[in-house]
Structure 1
Amino acid sequence: MTQTPPRTRADVDARLADDTARAWLDEALADAAGAAKAPPAAPSPYTAHSWELRFAAAGRHCGQDNADAVRTLLLVEARPGLETLTRLYQQGSAAERRAVLQALPALVEGPYAVHLVDDALRTNDTRLVSAAVGPYAAAHLGPHAWRHAVLKCLFTGVPLDAVADLAVRAAGDAELARMLTDYAAERSAAGRDIPHDLDRVLTLTGEKSQRPQEL
């Protein structure tokens, strides 16, 4: 798994390959800032602001390794509404969807974008799942959905370090402990390896692992 990309402009500038990429980013951020200040226009599925086109092209101009960070900067600068965020997510590539998920804590107050997190958690794309269980999910996913998000990480191999506020939300969660124990038993009965992170989160719930000692 890749680490969360840098989010500040200075960090991104330091990673860009050359002045051409930096100039492109300057123009893209200026477009995004202009969109944020412009009066809201009637939404249309057939048109896109210029910053949205740059959002899609970030990897080509700034490098794939920097694309997540660049897209996140553009979203934070443009301050798009929930309708635009949803459209960018639904119409975007996996990489573009990751950026939307990563930007949610800065852009959406309240649980109004939980549907995007839920959608990402239905996939088996580990980078999407990792982005989905960040700070926005920690703040706004309900207990049932959050528990299943933890299990999704275990199932897909996403390290639980990706789960924001894991220790806080897992503390004393007897239902999560039951689900983890059941999952471990199912894996063991099927002769499958049990994810090494499982004991860690089970301990956070206040319960002890009951899986066979040889595992």
Structure 2
Amino acid sequence: MTAPVPVPAPALLTSSLEAGPDRASAAWLHDALRRLAADPGALAVLFPAAGRACGHRRLPEPPPGAEGWTAADAARALLLLAVPAADGQRLAEAEACYRYGDAAERVAVLRALPLLGVGDGAVGLVEDALRTHDTRLLAAAVGPYARRHLDQALWRDAVLKCLFTGVPLSAVADLHERADRELRVMLTALVREREAAGRPAPPEALALLTPADVASHRPVTLRGKE
């Protein structure tokens, strides 16, 4: 059994921004946090502005759990963390940033969810992302937050959706730990379906199966194509 996918520590996200080649990003974030503390309503302007101010380059020294994050992702996560959690305020702001944001802003919200301490309140955002065919959103939606809060049936569908859309299963947090017999049955059906159509089976699906899984195949209705 592998170790659970870690959640990036906020202090390490800040350090990663400060260690980047563009120190202006850290300076912008410091000023943005000061503005947000004085005016909570400023998040509506600051959250999208982080893309222009910090850029979309990958973090040069990402902390554990933030591999593949951009500087803007880190800044946006830290902005959301600065919103008070009391009375659902942080969750409401995260929902607003997702609903009104572009794809990059939505990805940032999804990546930040496990840091925000909102419990299962943001499952609806994950479900919305899983209904899309945007592979960026799908990959961000199946991270540590989904591992903790998405119910097993929806999580299985999310794994299948990744396979159907070409999202690497490496994006699925703790895939092997959460994979169950029903998922393997569904994957076996997918493999059989592909083979019957003369199409190659996804190697990542095969990697999750054993000869016993294939031998014990029973028909199931595949979901996740829509």
Question: What is the TM-score of this pair, normalised by structure 1?
Answer: 0.79
Asked if 1:200 is matched to 2:204, the reply is no
Q: CA RMSD in A?
A: 2.4
CA separation of 1:105 and 1:34: change in aligned 2, threshold 3 A: farther
Contact (CA 8 Å) 2:107, 2:136: kept in 1 or not?
A: yes
Distance in 2 between the 1:24 and 1:104 partners? 22
Please name the residue that 1:96 is paired with: 105
List aligned pairs for 1:66-145, cutoff 5 A: 66-79=71-84, 80-145=89-154
Contact (CA 8 Å) 1:5, 1:68: kept in 2 or not?
A: no
Deviation at 1:120, TM superposition (A): 0.5
SS at match of 1:113: helix
Q: 112-121 vs 69-78, which deviates more? A: 69-78
For these two proteins, the number of residue pairs brought into alignment is: 190
* Unmatched segments (≥5 aa) in structure 2: 1-6, 58-70, 216-226
Contact (CA 8 Å) 2:163, 2:202: kept in 1 or not?
A: yes
Q: Tell me: higher relative CO, structure 1 or 2? Use CA pairs within 8 A at least 6 residues apart.
A: 2
User: Which residue, out of 179, 186, 189, partners 2:193?
Assistant: 186
Deviation at 1:17, TM superposition (A): 1.6
* Unmatched segments (≥5 aa) in structure 1: 39-48, 211-215
Please name the residue that 1:12 is paired with: 17
Amino acid at match of 1:111: D
Asked if 1:64 is matched to 2:69, the reply is no
Question: What is the TM-score of this pair, normalised by structure 2?
Answer: 0.75
CA separation of 1:6 and 1:195: change in aligned 2, threshold 3 A: farther
Distance in 2 between the 1:77 and 1:129 partners? 26
CA separation of 1:5 and 1:56: change in aligned 2, threshold 3 A: farther
Q: 68-77 vs 86-95, which deviates more? A: 68-77
Distance in 2 between the 1:77 and 1:162 partners? 27
User: Which residue, out of 44, 53, 66, partners 1:52?
Assistant: 44
Please name the residue that 2:27 is paired with: 23
Taking only the aligned residue pairs, the percentage that are identical comes to: 50
Distance in 1 between the 2:92 and 2:51 partners? 24
Distance in 2 between the 1:84 and 1:72 partners? 12
